């Protein structure tokens, strides 16, 4: 990608990491999870697999901050455990892990209004992210790339969120 982020003749900047126009979400809200998904989809469209992994870790961080704000007594570990043990996770293993699967779960999370159903949807998003890794990065997955790695990278993203950079 040779496009520059320097101001052009009109004084406007060109694309940065993303070429799509993506609405900014609010840290601690589902809108931030959706923003990170849109960035993942943009990375896919550009064919930049490393950026897609970064966006997955950013999505993990966005879910973490959402839990902190709305469900402070629920941990990411509990959510990941719920994702691994749900019937949904077992059924979805036969499907391809795609960003569309994640999008459908995020849309569903926006539509539910009970605490129990939101947490179930969040677990399904985590499950869909796990499938995405397995399907799109099989070599990395078999050499040890897992949600735990995304969790480690998401700690960096949370620091960036906290410092107001994203």
56 in any annotated domain: yes
Q: Which domain holds residue 110?
A: 30-162
16 in any annotated domain: no
Give pLDDT, residue 12. Answer: 55
7 in any annotated domain: no
Comparing 62 with 106, the larger pLDDT belongs to: 62
Give pLDDT, residue 26. Answer: 95
48 in any annotated domain: yes
99 in any annotated domain: yes
24 in any annotated domain: no
- For residue 145, give the 3-state DSSP assignment: coil
10 in any annotated domain: no
Per the structure, the count of domains in the chain is 1
- Mean predicted lDDT score pLDDT of the chain: 77
Question: Quick one: pLDDT band at residue 83, thresholds 50, 70, 90?
Answer: confident
Question: C-alpha distances in angstroms, 95 versus 41, 70, 89, 133?
Answer: 18, 30, 10, 13
- Taking only the tens place, the pLDDT of each residue in 147-165 is 777 777 777 778 777 877 6
When pLDDT is averaged across residues 32-57 and rounded to a whole number, the result is: 88
Q: What does pTM read for this prediction?
A: 0.75
- Taking only the tens place, the pLDDT of each residue in 90-143 is 445 445 567 777 777 777 777 776 777 888 888 888 888 877 887 777 776 555
19 in any annotated domain: no
Q: How far is CA 46 from the centre of its chain?
A: 17
Question: Quick one: pLDDT band at residue 84, thresholds 50, 70, 90?
Answer: confident
Measured CA to CA, the distance from residue 126 to residue 119 in angstroms comes to 11
């Amino acid at each position: 990608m040779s496009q520059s982020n320097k101001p052009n003749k009109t004084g406007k900047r060109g694309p940065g990491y993303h070429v799509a126009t993506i609405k900014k979400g609010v840290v601690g809200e589902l809108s931030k999870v959706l923003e990170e998904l849109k960035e993942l989809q943009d990375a896919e469209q550009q064919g930049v697999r490393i950026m897609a992994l970064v966006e997955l870790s950013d999505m993990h961080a966005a879910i973490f901050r959402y839990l902190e704000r709305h469900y402070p007594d629920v941990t990411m570990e509990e959510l990941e455990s719920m994702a691994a043990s749900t019937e949904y996770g077992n059924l979805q293993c036969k499907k391809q892990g795609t960003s569309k699967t994640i999008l459908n779960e995020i849309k569903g999370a926006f539509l539910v209004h009970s605490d129990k159903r939101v947490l179930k949807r969040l677990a399904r998003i985590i499950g869909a992210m796990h499938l995405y890794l397995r399907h799109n990065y099989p070599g990395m997955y078999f050499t040890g790339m897992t949600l735990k790695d995304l969790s480690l990278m998401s700690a960096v993203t949370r620091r960036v969120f906290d410092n107001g950079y994203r």
